[in-house]
Chain A
Amino acid sequence: MNEFLFTQVLSELEDAVGVENCSTKQIDKLTHSVDYFWLSRMWSDRGREMPQADFIVSPKDAKEVSKVLKIANYYKIPVTTWGGGGGTQGGAIPVCGGIVIDTKRMNQIYEINTDGMYIECGAGAIYKHIEWAANEKGYATMHYPSSLTCSTVGGFLAHRGIGVVSTKYGKIDDMVLQMEVVLPNGDIINTSSAPKHAAGPDLNEIFIGSEGTLGIITKAQIRIYAQPEVRRFRGFLFKDMHGAFQAARELLQIFKPSVMRLYDEAETASLIKKIVGVSRPGAFMNVAYEGKKELVDVEEKILLETFKKYGAEDLGSDYGEKWWKEKITFFYPGHMMDLPQMFGTMDTIAPYDKIEKIYWAMKKAIETEFPNIKFIAHFSHWYEWGAMVYDRFICDNPPQDPIEAMKLHNRVWNVGVRAAIANGGVVNDHHGVGIKLGRLMKEQYGPAMQVFEALKKTLDPNGIMNPFKLGL
């Protein structure tokens, strides 16, 4: 963009959001160019600049977002939405430059409605802050991902996030009632006043997981839940994962624990040994169950009986409690994989008849194709019909050259995700697609991809919204 036009756009953006909320400073461009995506971290670690936006704007509400989108549409400037930047798929990186809309000024808590059991808040609210707001009234959001303290409500919605007590309380799409969204043309819309209706397809579902490619979520009604009277933990050691799967499926036909986490033998011997202290071979599983004490007593009895049937060794509650206490510690620098290692999480989801097969297929594919890469996994979100696998690859000595490192990284992902798709999995479970996996969307959806493409074309005819993300 030439200097004249740049200045023109800048003055229009300043008019839309206020001079102090529109930046072209290097520090703002830098900090909005590196998110939690391994490639962006590696690239900057090697001293290279990631693609940067030309303008960083921080609107305070949907009206200001609307003004920004109208300007962007007129001048055909790309727009990337940035919440907390905690995404792992490069979804928030402004790969084509243009405008970054940082949502964190939209952090208002408008209402804590204990009759309707929801909090209405701006999409830029840090999730931990709305958890505090719920706690003050004696409730909880029950959304506890590792990124709870650093990511925004809008970020979780745009990437369909999930937290550790999902098995009982659900994923973010189960936790939202209504949303306010600004469409690419600047129109401000509200989804229906309640979900689970028959008034056509659920509009929420069009924008949840859309990663800022179809519009920008600016406000949401997030569900709150009663605090459980008790929350109990139980650790188990299975001889192998097969028994654990059978036990878990049977258990889920009877009741839903809040936490269910099964670690494969490799992860039990590494992470779980290091952080939780279980040092024997096998597959560790942690289960939490919670609610009214009388019910929890019954659930505990059923859990112990069911797991015993499948040969699980009952390790008592200590390991589980330690795990709960340390659940976020896993993600602090120094406690988990970090540069200079290359690593990634290839989470996928499938029904019980396929999930084990997918795990073995991905493991085999990665370990055969890349003998120097480790493959570890755990299964962290469970349903009556299936589970998700959180499988990670770790390469201790990736190439120092950033271009070579990028090529290797993308090859590993291709191999892993293609193995998942070939065996009935999907591109991703809860981290999203971003730029990292966009190319694999067509492989997954085939002709069904045209539905997304049609939506994109209609809502965003100029293609300004988060280009090259989600394969759109």
Chain B
Amino acid sequence: MEELVISEKAKKQAESCRFCWMCRHLCPIGNATGQERNTARARALGVSMVVRGTYDLSTIADNVYECGVCGACTNNCVTGWDPKIFIQEVKAELALKGLLPEYIKTILETYASTGNAYGAKAPEGYKDTKGDVLFVLGQDAFYRSEASYKGAVALMDKIGASYALNEKANDTGATLNFLVGKTKETEDAAAACAKIMNEYKEVVVYDPVDMRFIAHEWKEWGIEVTAKVVSFNDYVKANMGKLKVAKGKNVYTPQDNYAYARDLDDTETVREILGQVGEVKDMLLNRKEANMAGSLLMDLYMHDVQMQVARDRWFNAAAMDCKVIVTENPAEYELLKATEPEGSRVMTLEEAILENAK
């Protein structure tokens, strides 16, 4: 029987959550599947039974990978427990003990052989470029979301920024962190990225999930960054003056990304930007209560569920009569695009800005 070695902190979270369902209504995965195992409480119960030696660690392997680590539960928890902590530690343990599910092993093999989880190549015609500011798009935008990549680059051009692109810098380690938690490989990936970043004075990070990872885990793990790291939203907001935008009549609904909204405590920048180009209208579950619209990594092994997660978000938008959703995150853009209902539209933030720029 493989035992589970997790920190006292993680154990404490699991022991508290194991009898509580108070955040059930907010879990995007649980709402999409209707499965009891997809609740913070069920994951905690599984962990606690493995800690007690009743079950083998492998019993809970699939279940931890069914968590989007979005923190909707954590945000809702009035007593401050955080299921993400034990979820991530269990992943690292599974990796260490060779108990990863086959589908995760396959993704890791793809990552090892191609440098990204999707086995994708750089966008057509792409070349590393030089400039003053390093622009980090992240792996999802770079390899899996052409619209995000093109839109982000077009907006930087429109701003007239002198920016450098470096394919390797797109790997902040966030991919490995999702797949195997804090392992040596994850730390190495993060350190390699930091090394590239430190060649610059300023770095703009496009994907909020990368930004969150840098702001939280890098800091916690002691990965040194000398460059000034700013989020894409902050960078765009600071440069709106250069864009010559006109406020149009379009109504935009932000799909608050969980990393911006909860981990980086920024729900207003996107609204301020959108407010300069059109009207802002919120959907159900907005700002800190945002529900994720899916993950491209999870889409690799639970496609149908990710589609349902995105459809649920369209349902939340329709409930408030919101027709145009604006995303800040490439994964959410792609999944909302794949489920776009007739008469509705998903746009990236840069698309929304560019359609109002002269």
Q: Which of B36, B39, B320 contacts A28 (CB 8 A)?
A: B36
List of B residues within 8 angstroms of A124 by Cβ: 34
Q: Tell me, rounded to whole Å, the shortest Cβ–Cβ distance linking A23 to chain B.
A: 8
Check B284–A149 contact: CB distance below 8 A.
Answer: no
| Chain A, residue nearest B21 (CB) | A150
Decide yes or no whether B42 CB sits under 8 A from chain A.
yes
Decide yes or no whether A445 CB sits under 8 A from chain B.
no
The CB with the most chain B CB atoms within 10 A, among A32, A58, A149, is that of A149
Indicate whether A58 sits within 8 Å of B35 (C-beta atoms), given known contacts A84-B21, A128-B25, A149-B21: yes
Contact segment of A41-49, A69-77, A192-200, A303-311: A41-49
Decide yes or no whether B269 CB sits under 8 A from chain A.
no
Check B21–A86 contact: CB distance below 8 A.
Answer: yes
Total chain B interface residues with beta-carbon distance under 8 A: 36
Check A333–B35 contact: CB distance below 8 A.
Answer: no
Contact segment of B48-56, B155-163, B165-173: B48-56
Check B78–A47 contact: CB distance below 8 A.
Answer: no
SS class, residues of chain A in contact with chain B: loop
| Chain A, residue nearest B17 (CB) | A333
Q: Tell me, rounded to whole Å, the shortest Cβ–Cβ distance linking A152 to chain B.
A: 10
Indicate whether A27 sits within 8 Å of B20 (C-beta atoms), given known contacts A102-B34, A132-B284, A329-B78: no
Query: How many Å lie between the Cα of A331 and that of B19 in the bound state?
Result: 11
Decide yes or no whether A413 CB sits under 8 A from chain B.
no
Decide yes or no whether A361 CB sits under 8 A from chain B.
no
Indicate whether A28 sits within 8 Å of B37 (C-beta atoms), given known contacts A329-B78, A333-B79: yes
Query: How many Å lie between the Cα of A458 and that of B258 in the bound state?
Result: 53
Q: Tell me, rounded to whole Å, the shortest Cβ–Cβ distance linking A56 to chain B.
A: 8
Indicate whether A333 sits within 8 Å of B20 (C-beta atoms), given known contacts A27-B63, A49-B54: yes
Query: How many Å lie between the Cα of A105 and that of B48 in the bound state?
Result: 27
Check A27–B284 contact: CB distance below 8 A.
Answer: no
Decide yes or no whether A34 CB sits under 8 A from chain B.
yes
**Residue-by-residue, is B13-34 near A (CB-CB < 8 Å gives 1, otherwise 0)?**
0001101111111100001001
Check B45–A44 contact: CB distance below 8 A.
Answer: yes
| Chain A, residue nearest B318 (CB) | A136
Q: Which of A85, A334, A335 contacts B21 (CB 8 A)?
A: A85
List of A residues within 8 angstroms of B36 by Cβ: 28, 31-32, 56, 82, 85, 102, 104
Decide yes or no whether B109 CB sits under 8 A from chain A.
no
Q: Which of A27, A129, A151 contacts B60 (CB 8 A)?
A: A27
A-B contact pairs, 20 of them (CB 8 A): A27-B46, A27-B62, A28-B35, A30-B46, A30-B55, A34-B45, A44-B48, A44-B54, A47-B52, A86-B21, A104-B35, A129-B31, A132-B319, A147-B21, A149-B25, A150-B25, A151-B21, A329-B78, A332-B22, A332-B79
Residues of A within 8 A of B (CB): 25-28, 30-32, 34, 36, 41, 44, 47-49, 56, 58, 82, 84-86, 102, 104-105, 107, 124, 126, 128-129, 132-133, 136, 147, 149-151, 328-329, 331-335, 338-339
